[in-house]
Structure formats: C-alpha cells, structure tokens
Amino acid sequence: MIARGVMLGPDQPVIIHMLDIEPAAEALNGVKMELIDAAFPLLKDVVATTNVVEACQGVNIAVMVGGFPRKEGMERKDVMSKNVSIYKAQASALEQHAAPDCKVLVVANPANTNALILKEFAPSIPEKNITCLTRLDHNRALGQISEKLNVHVSDVRNVIIWGNHSSTQYPDINHATVKTTNGEESVRDAIANDNWLNTEFITTVQQRGATIIKARKLSSALSAASAACDHIRDWVLGTPKGTWVSMGVYSDGSYGIQPGIIYSFPVTCEKGQWSIVNGLKIDELSREKMDATAKELMEEKTLAYSCLIDD
C-alpha cells in the first residue's frame, strides 16, 4: 500500500525502511525481494535490516507495528513489561537517528500506552508527533453503520472513537451523519433504533478485533494496514472539509480527559498538524463511557511506569 501511494499520495516517492528481529531476517529479506520485484514506480529504495539504528536513520514517518502479543495465561503486567522494554529501545533509536520532524504512529498493542512510553523516552520528538492507531476502530464503526443502513461507507462520516484502543473504547455516533436520498441526516435518526446503537453496535466495534482473531486464528492484518495508511494520509495531507477522524493523541485536557495520557479524540488535520475538534455536546451515557476508558488508560500508565521502576 505504501509503495503504491495509498499512504502518501500518488506523486510521493518513498524509501521504505523495514526493521525486524534477528530470527526473522531471512523472511524480511524475502519481503524486500518481493517489493523490488513488484517494480513500483514510487518506490525509490528498500532497506531491510535487523539493526535499529539503520532502520531509524533519517526517517520522516515511523509506523510501529512490532510489539509483544499477549499469550494465553499471561498477566497484563507481563505483556506490559515486555512492551515497555521494546518501546523504550525504539524511542531512543528514533530520538537519536530519525528526522527531527518525524511523525510516529504506534499500532502494536497496548497501542496508547506503548505510544506514551515512546513519548517518554524520545523527549526531542514533539509530543504532537506521537500518535496511536484508533482509525481501525473508527473504520469498523463506519462499516457497521453502512451495513446496517445499507449505504455506501463513504456516505457515513464523523463517528468518533474515544479513549483506549481496547475493549473499553467508546464508539460514539451522536455527531455522525449519513447521506440519504433526502440529503444529510443524523445516523441516530436514520437508524431509529437507540437500543441497537447503545448496546450491540458499541460492543460489536469494541470486540471486533477479538472476533477476527477467533475467525482467522490471527489478528487483523489487511484492515489494520489500511487504517494505518488512512491515519498517516489524513495527518500528512489533511482531512476532507467538514470531516473529522479519530486519532490517539496526547491529551491536553479537552473534554475533561486528564492530560498525560494518549487518548483517542476526534481530530481534523491540516498542513501536517492535527487539532482536536472542540465544543461537541457530550450526553450522560457518553460521559460515563469516556471516563471509563480514561480510567483504564490511567491504570495502564501506572502499570507501565511500575515496569520502568522494575527495569
């Protein structure tokens, strides 16, 4: 997708740096061969390496897909401590070797907290340049609405994912609209089923990742890659007028969410910068759900910092 211009547009040449661990070096080289064999006009060079310094050298955009997955019988703290050490090392390499304006997107779970650790150990990268992926959840919410209404997914816009990229996230459709034959109307009015919207819709989006793992025996691949491209494309090239997207960003206290955590907000992007959409009306149910996911992020932060002390 990156080599085809899906992420940065059809006119932007790219050099792809790929980093993997030593045991995967041979497979990584195979991916490099395939990229070369595809003869993509935009692909200027491919660097495939197991050396973190070489991988981070001069990069403008870093998409962090590597992390330690939770395995059966593992406690949250075990997963967190493994990811803390991975992201601490990655952060130092980016801090020292990436381009000064490097934009970072963390995909690997726990994405919000991995991004927070990265921010902590890469102090010279501006905090506005460190984000995590909730666009996958945003796209999942759009997909559910478009299926329910039997409309094209591009006719639905302005859903919001609040909070953590976990099962406490809150997919909010209170400000979402859909294009119909009678013009634009609110998704809530178009669906006219509050019970479905306030229960099944929310849990379907929250649990979608787990449902896919159950079906495929592997976690989301295509949809996650596509969402990562969407996230970077909108961040770099801007969001369409009148549309916002969901991004996990460093909280500035907007909507009463405590600063100091990476939280998913609705944002618009222009000239390579994102801004939180402010002034949206928040009802009681939303407030409760937004606070619950913020609470989980504060707990994750405490857990992550305790792993740092144990280091």
List residues forming the annotated binding site for substrate: 70, 76, 109, 140
Residue numbers in the known binding site for NAD(+) are 20, 83, 107-109
Residue numbers in the known binding site are 20, 70, 76, 83, 107-109, 140
- What is the sign of the dihedral through the CA atoms of 154, 155, 160 and 166? negative
165 labelled catalytic = yes
Give the DSSP letter of residue 63. E
* Rounded Cα gap, residues 56 and 62, in angstroms: 8
Instruction: List the catalytic residue out of 17, 138, 152, 165.
Output: 165
Radius of gyration of the chain measured on its C-alpha atoms = 19
Burial of residue 9 (number of CB atoms within 10 Å: 0-12, 13-18, 19+): exposed
* Rounded Cα gap, residues 84 and 89, in angstroms: 9
* Rounded Cα gap, residues 167 and 144, in angstroms: 16
Interhelix angle 135-149/222-237, rounded to 10 degrees, is 110
* Rounded Cα gap, residues 196 and 263, in angstroms: 26
Residues that are catalytic: 165
